[in-house]
Amino acid sequence: MSMAVTMKDIAERAQVSRPVVCAVLGGKSTCRVSEEKRRRILELVRELGFQPNLQAQRLRSGKTKTVGILFASFRDRIIGDVMMELYRRLLQSGYTSIIAIWEKASEIERAYRNVVRNKVDGIITCDYHPEWIGEKIPVVVYGKQFPETDSITIDYAAAFSEALEYLVSLGHRRFGYIGCEGERLDACSAVMKQYGFSGSYCVYNGMGYPENGIRGVRHLLERENPPSAIFCHNDSVALAAMAEAQRMGCAVGSDLSIIGLDNTLESSFSYPALTTIDTFIAEKAGMMVDLLLARLEDPGKKTVSMVLKSKLIIRDSCGPVRSGEKK
């Protein structure tokens, strides 16, 4: 029976010290070793089938190599996509994930405490609550900015400005929004005010789930002066609103224009294909992981707040306003 390969075996064959092998396998950028030696160590690891003792590594370093991912419900498709991409990126970086979700605000504290109890090295979340975390756990926040922690947000004002200008170019002057309270609705309402459309803008405020798209489009289209174009909180809401509008006998793309947000996979497969705002899910997830790993490497570095741009994806769910409907 063959003996298990040890870190000492790798060190002897690579002609380096054991601590150097340990540093290279741990991905420490401060390790002073030539690129040639680094490649040789990694080649030997693959050739000999070396399996590091993760438990021993964690005991020595005081790190668990786990990250908590805390987000609201998977019912918002984009949240599910972001979380899966975070999980994948962390796994590629040698970290396991502990995932916690909540449906209601009353469940957030329990989700946090369950994650913190597992002694995670860091947290990526959409809802920052320092009172349940402790000062020693670094956090990256998605969608909101806090002065004391790293964050990534989208420039929603620029996103809605680009979308509104496109709709105005098609002749639309009456607008609606289906969604829920938060930075997306706030940005859309601010843009409407900036462009002088507050008086011809109506909101259905509920939740960011598909059923809200159904209720919202009914509510808006049954108004005395219904909107000719509707912005939606996300693609899930937009696709549900589009299907319900068509059931009501409204031709999406000609009678009514609808714009989603996030550019999920389903948005390009709908009929008509959904015009939406791409917020670059994979890129955001990669940046969040990079921010957290950089913070773990250098806890004292300056806080980073990244504001990312988006892109309007024009498809078939928007079209010119019908003659006589501009006012």
Q: For residue 22, what is the domain's CATH number?
A: 1.10.260.40
pLDDT of residue 1: 41
Residues 181, 275: one domain?
yes
Q: Domain of 174?
A: 156-279
166 and 150 co-located in one domain: no
The 139-142 sheet, strands edge to edge: 96-102, 66-72, 122-125, 139-142, 150-154, 305-308
253 and 209 in a common domain: yes
The reply to whether the predicted model has a pTM over 0.75 is yes
- How many Å apart are CA 327 and CA 324, to the nearest integer? 7
Q: Is residue 208 one of the residues assigned to a domain?
A: yes
Question: What is the separation, in whole angstroms, between the first and last Cα of the chain?
Answer: 84
Q: Is residue 60 part of a domain?
A: no
Q: Give the pLDDT of residue 256.
A: 98
Sign of the dihedral defined by the CA atoms of residues 35, 38, 44, 45, in that order:
negative
The count of C-alpha atoms lying within 13 angstroms of the C-alpha of 120, restricted to the half-sphere facing its C-beta, is 29
Contact (CB, 8 A) for 230 and 172: no
Query: Both 274 and 163 in a single domain?
Result: yes
* The pLDDT of residue 53: 61
Do 79 and 139 sit in the same domain of this protein?
yes
**Rounded average pLDDT per 10-residue block, the chain, 327 residues:** 73 87 68 80 82 58 85 78 91 90 89 93 94 88 92 96 98 96 94 96 91 96 96 96 97 97 94 96 91 93 95 98 67
- Shared domain check, 198 and 187: yes
Establish if 319 belongs to a structural domain: no
- The b-or-e profile of 49-62 (16+ CB within 10 A means b, else e) is ebebeeeeeeeeee
In a shared domain, residues 178 and 215: yes
96 plus 147 within the same structural domain: yes
Is 320 within a domain?
no
CA atoms within 13 A on the CB side of 210: 10
Secondary structure of residue 224 in the 3-state scheme: coil
- The answer to the question of residue 22 being in a domain is yes
Report which DSSP code applies to 120. Answer: -
Per the structure, the count of domains in the chain is 3
Which CATH number covers residue 106? Answer: 3.40.50.2300
In a domain, 58, yes or no: no
Q: Are residues 150 and 172 in the same domain?
A: no
The answer as to whether 318 is a domain residue is no
